[in-house]
Structure 1
Amino acid sequence: MLNSGNLVLYSSNGTILWESFNNPTNTLLPTQRLRAGYELVSSASESDYSSGRFRLKMQNDGNLVQYPVRTPDAASYAYYSSGTFGIGDNMNLVFDADIQLYLLNSTGVNIIKNITKREYPTKDRIYLMRIDVDGIFRLYSYNRRQSNSTWSIEWSSSNDKCDPKGLCGINAFCVNNDQEADCRCLSGFDFVQEGNWSSGCERNFVADSCANKNKSVAYDMEELPNTSWENNPYSVLKVQEKEGCRQACLDDCNCEAAFYTDGECRKQMLPLLYGRRQLDDSNIALIKVYTSTPHVETSVAKESERIRKDILIISVVLVSFGFVMLVISVLVLWKRNFYAYKKINQRSQDVELMGTDVSLRSFTYEELEKMTDGFKEEIGRGSFGTVYKGTILNSQKEVAVKKLEKVLEEGEREFQNEMRAIGRTHHKNLVRLLGYCYEGPNRLLVYEYMSNGSLADMLFNPENKPCWEERLGITCGIARGILYLHEECVTQIIHCDIKPQNILMDEYRRAKISDFGLAKLLKPDQTKTYTGIRGTRGYVAPEWHRNLPITTKADVYSFGIVMLEIICCRKNLSWGLSEEEAVLEDWAYDCFQNGELPKLVGSEEVDKRQLERMVKVAIWCIQEEPSMRPSMNKVLLMLEGTIEIPIPPNPEFFSAQVFS
């Protein structure tokens, strides 16, 4: 260690083999240089010195520039520049002993630009320059003569703490609050991890899929003026005014936000990046948000002041007329419902007579209301309805009652056929359907109650994480359940939505698949092989997007994604991680290809042969070409070690090797 702070490694003959001054991290010391093509990278946090989110690069073109990490060296990503582009090639950034920071040309003679622009006293002081966690490059001094001295800031690359792009993570924007940066989520979003700005924000509601034509969610556009963002639109429109841009985004299912500036409307998809409040920026961000009731502008308050006595008299007459019509309507509806109820009872009897081989019980809506104490305890919510905990009154057996919210008004025969088909299914890895309610507009399903919640509750909760042996058993159990649906049922069932939230755990922590056949049940007018996109983002097979026939291989793809989540105990998409780890299937294949599979399980001790077998099977399952994916029968044989597993190709490319 030299007096300058340079850590030098010498050979036995005095030759320098390595020195810290030529391998900078986030700090420069006096007499140290940052050579052309090299960069400083900030720390992840004040206590974590691994690579963080910002970098300072001495470019080969002579420009000293700050960028977010993992971005190109392009002006659109820069948030600080020395303004010396093209002045000279291969310049060095020099932090001299006289505490000046300047750019020196390749000859080492001519100073191109003095960046700090002044000299600083050197007596009894020590200095360093560092790119900090918040992305700003600063010069610090320390007075060795003062007993209570602390590091003081002498110079900064920026005085605006919101300048660093990406400080607040995705879907968030930075606001200056008394010279301090304050990160805020967009309307309708919450921080992924409270207190950790870099994790960004995610929606606090579940958005409807574009394939769902029966929208259960009403949307509006929330206005956020004077903000700048990364400009990455998928569509640009010319509109007369802001209202036109707002309506264009509302009418487009794929539009999640829009930027309006001077008659130009730029439609955006999430995530939104590099947001910050700038009062001199005319850009208006319009964010699509959930609203329980449509936004309706009314002027009742203004009009009420102008009501006169003659209008009041007319209103009384209209109200009286409306009351009479209401009484007549109630009588007509009561009469119609009375006969409809008699028909429903007859249909229920017909279902029981036609399905004597099915052990399903028909419940009345009143019975289920009592069993659930007025649908009091909600235990789950999905895209098709809400699940409540209940108890069968005469046996005290706990059940889960799913109240379907988007059942078609027509299709009684299809509903009965589905009940009989699902009622015949019985497998230890399927949640058992016990009964149903088919009364007027009410459609409810009664399932056995699963006391340990869903697989998602276990995998994504470190305190409840299953051990490796348990994860192997869970994987094989799920595979057996899907195999039963595909090949062993009287009526073949393609699940269409395999994901951890639809895999429930019983009291013995045994996996059971739920919601099988439900998508088909809710949309009986669609065919078995061609259908609109169903399922959940991240688990949907590629063929859904290509208008190809949907087969059982769509479930195999979803199972492969779930397998990787079971192996790693993390979600398939996690933008809080580094870019190379954010998309689980890409990271898993890279680890497999590079022989680094232990990285997938971290410090956990697992059987390496079992780990390799699990990963290889998962990669085969997530192949883009459906014909390359194995059947669930072969998946189970490979998991159990009965047959050899060939080396899988990259999932993103087709291969000549095809599973039958």
Structure 2
Amino acid sequence: MHRDSFLLMHSFIIFFVLSISSLATAQQRHFNVSLGSSLTPTKTSSWLSKSGLYAFGFYQRGNGYSVGVFLAGIPEKTVVWTANRDDPPVSANSTLLFSAAEGRLVLQTPQGQDTYIADISPTVSYASMLDTGNFVLYDSDGGLTWQSFAHPTDTLLPTQRLVVEMPLISSVSKTDQSTGTFSLTLSGDGNLVQYPKDDRTVQTIYWTSGINELDDKLILTLAEDGNLYLVNATGFNVWNVTDGQVWSVLWINSDDRCDPKGLCGLNSFCVSNDLEPGCNCLPGFAPVIQGNWTSGCERNFTSESCKKKGKKYSIRAEDNTIWVEDSYSVLLQTSKEDCSKACLDDCNCEAALYKDGSCKKQRLPLKYGRRSSQSGSIAFIKIICYRKKLDQSLPEDQVILEEWVYECFEDGELGQLVGDEEVEPKQLERIIKVALWCILDEPSLRPSMKKVLLMLEGTVDIPTPPNPTSFISTI
């Protein structure tokens, strides 16, 4: 038997899943679940569907357990639905009770903090884990009172339907099913759209189906034939979203992993490294939370009025980066040099976006950045200069020293580092580039001693070192 699951992560993807029911034969199977039944994480932990493909119950999440629906008939227990997904995991001493007194599913913890899994009436008589992946509750007449299909999280399963303005929202990661950043929604005009879940505007939509049916009764459904359809109220297929055959990956809306807006937070931009997305901070910025790029980046210096006496500013450029525009002033028919100077001379300007003679002055933060080699656009960022001559008798702050050296390197003014001492410029540049690689905070990104020697000898080229305070990738 074949099943197709629709997973919304950073992109809009349909996967092909092979059911291996024999893997579940050793497990206890449940069909209808009666009132008074219970589950615990370490004993009877789930109720299986008839084929053994799907299970409802506890699954391990970090150091604890959550309740949801997952594929049990394959080696990897892929989670397709999570109850109360933003609640923290519970301990192994917790119990999921199908309460006979209330007719409700209640998650009970040792701390006495009971949580209802489904908001239902007390007329419920029994439950069932269906072979479609839908966990359902029935009344005494066999009428459906609640179903997991009506409360999707990040996955659309075969025969499941997504109605207008009912979003699928990505998970934080494959191992953390709590609410993530991205949303897939069928809008009232018939368009299927993707955007950051907390910021839905025309500018932030990064993918759209382009279908405008002006029908608020459209339904998105993943059919058993493996295709994704938009269906109208009469059951007519308005559009075949996938329009293809079933393979291991059936369809994906974009091959560019940096397309999703919001993958990198404020003042950072997405860069594709070997098809995997990474995030870089703007020059003069550092991550707000190390390792959590959705939190964005913040200045690594204190922002003060550019009119303040003694403060000197310079401009750094990030080539081929695209941002959401929110300009307060636009200069036309100007050069990139004039654009950089115009921002430097304007106290209100914190960044300027330049392309094809157009210079757009902006205030921070910059949003939804990504690098694109085809864009031809430049982001000019205003930062405070750290220049000063070094007094060798005084202790120097390491961070300020690193930034000063890097700024001198980036601006082509390495002579400031050696004062009046005569040195061969190319050799000095080579030494500084190697040094900047060797002082990176992340040990795995520093070159080996063998590579350092080859670099100093000139046997191998030295890649341009990144700013020591911003995100980098390996050499």
Correspondence for 1:232 = 326
Correspondence for 2:143 = 15
Correspondence for 1:261 = 355
Correspondence for 2:423 = none
Correspondence for 1:41 = 169
1:424-443 → structure 2 map (5 Å cutoff): none
CA distance in structure 2 between the partners assigned to 1:59 and 1:95 by the alignment:
17
1:498-517 → structure 2 map (5 Å cutoff): none
Matched AA of 1:103: L
2:270 to 141, 156, 174: 174
Deviations 1:48-69 (A, max 9, x none): 3221110000111111110011
Given the alignment of the two structures, is residue 95 of structure 1 paired with residue 222 of structure 2, yes or no?
A: yes
1:475-624 → structure 2 map (5 Å cutoff): none
Correspondence for 1:289 = 383
1:163 to 259, 272, 287: 259
CA distance in structure 2 between the partners assigned to 1:375 and 1:242 by the alignment:
40
1:54 to 182, 200, 205: 182
1:104 to 231, 243, 262: 231
CA distance in structure 1 between the partners assigned to 2:363 and 2:286 by the alignment:
17
Given the alignment of the two structures, is residue 214 of structure 1 paired with residue 309 of structure 2, yes or no?
A: yes
Contact 2:244 2:250 in 1 (8 A): no
2:203 to 45, 60, 76: 76
Tell me how large the CA RMSD over aligned residues is: 2.5
Matched AA of 2:161: R
Matched AA of 1:59: S
Correspondence for 2:192 = 64
SS at match of 1:198: helix
Deviations 1:500-558 (A, max 9, x none): xxxxxxxxxxxxxxxxxxxxxxxxxxxxxxxxxxxxxxxxxxxxxxxxxxxxxxxxxxx
Change (3 A) 1:84 1:375: same
Correspondence for 2:242 = 116
Deviation at 1:215, TM superposition (A): 3.0
Correspondence for 2:287 = 191
Larger Rg: 1
Matched AA of 1:190: A
Contact 1:249 1:258 in 2 (8 A): yes
**How many residue pairs align between the two structures?**
268
SS at match of 1:113: strand
Deviations 1:260-290 (A, max 9, x none): 1233221111111110111221321111123
CA distance in structure 2 between the partners assigned to 1:94 and 1:213 by the alignment:
60
Runs of 4+ in structure 1 over 4 Å off: 374-378
Deviations 1:202-228 (A, max 9, x none): 112222235x53133x21111122211
Deviations 1:606-654 (A, max 9, x none): xxxxxxxxxxxxxxxxxxxxxxxxxxxxxxxxxxxxxxxxxxxxxxxxx
Deviation at 1:173, TM superposition (A): 0.9
SS at match of 1:223: strand
Deviations 1:361-395 (A, max 9, x none): xxxxxxxxxxxxx87598xx9xxxxxxxxxxxxxx
Contact 1:61 1:90 in 2 (8 A): no
Q: Normalised by the size of structure 2, how large is the TM-score?
A: 0.53
SS at match of 1:214: coil
CA distance in structure 1 between the partners assigned to 2:346 and 2:222 by the alignment:
54
CA distance in structure 1 between the partners assigned to 2:284 and 2:350 by the alignment:
11
Contact 1:208 1:215 in 2 (8 A): no
Contact 1:98 1:119 in 2 (8 A): no
CA distance in structure 2 between the partners assigned to 1:23 and 1:278 by the alignment:
37
Matched AA of 2:188: N
Correspondence for 1:277 = 371
CA distance in structure 2 between the partners assigned to 1:107 and 1:259 by the alignment:
49
Correspondence for 1:534 = none
Contact 1:186 1:287 in 2 (8 A): yes
Deviation at 1:189, TM superposition (A): 1.3
Correspondence for 1:246 = 340
Please, which runs of 5 or more residues in structure 2 have no aligned partner?
1-128, 401-475
Matched AA of 1:34: L
Correspondence for 2:38 = none
CA distance in structure 2 between the partners assigned to 1:32 and 1:208 by the alignment:
54
User: What percentage of aligned pairs have identical amino acids?
Assistant: 49
Deviation at 1:85, TM superposition (A): 2.0
Contact 2:191 2:208 in 1 (8 A): yes
Given the alignment of the two structures, is residue 28 of structure 1 paired with residue 28 of structure 2, yes or no?
A: no
Which structure has the higher relative contact order (CA within 8 Å, separation 6+)?
A: 2
Deviations 1:575-624 (A, max 9, x none): xxxxxxxxxxxxxxxxxxxxxxxxxxxxxxxxxxxxxxxxxxxxxxxxxx
Contact 1:89 1:106 in 2 (8 A): no
CA distance in structure 1 between the partners assigned to 2:365 and 2:259 by the alignment:
19
SS at match of 2:364: coil
Contact 1:41 1:55 in 2 (8 A): yes
Matched AA of 2:255: N
CA distance in structure 1 between the partners assigned to 2:395 and 2:192 by the alignment:
62
SS at match of 1:234: strand
Contact 1:239 1:245 in 2 (8 A): no
Contact 1:191 1:201 in 2 (8 A): yes
Q: Normalised by the size of structure 1, how large is the TM-score?
A: 0.38
Correspondence for 1:418 = none
Query: Which has the larger strand fraction?
Result: 2
SS at match of 2:170: strand
Deviations 1:306-343 (A, max 9, x none): xxxxxxxxxxxxxxxxxxxxxxxxxxxxxxxxxxxxxx
CA distance in structure 1 between the partners assigned to 2:318 and 2:291 by the alignment:
23
Matched AA of 2:181: R
CA distance in structure 1 between the partners assigned to 2:211 and 2:396 by the alignment:
65
Deviation at 1:27, TM superposition (A): 0.4
Please, which runs of 5 or more residues in structure 1 have no aligned partner?
122-151, 295-373, 382-660
SS at match of 1:76: coil
SS at match of 2:327: coil
Correspondence for 1:355 = none
CA distance in structure 2 between the partners assigned to 1:31 and 1:271 by the alignment:
43
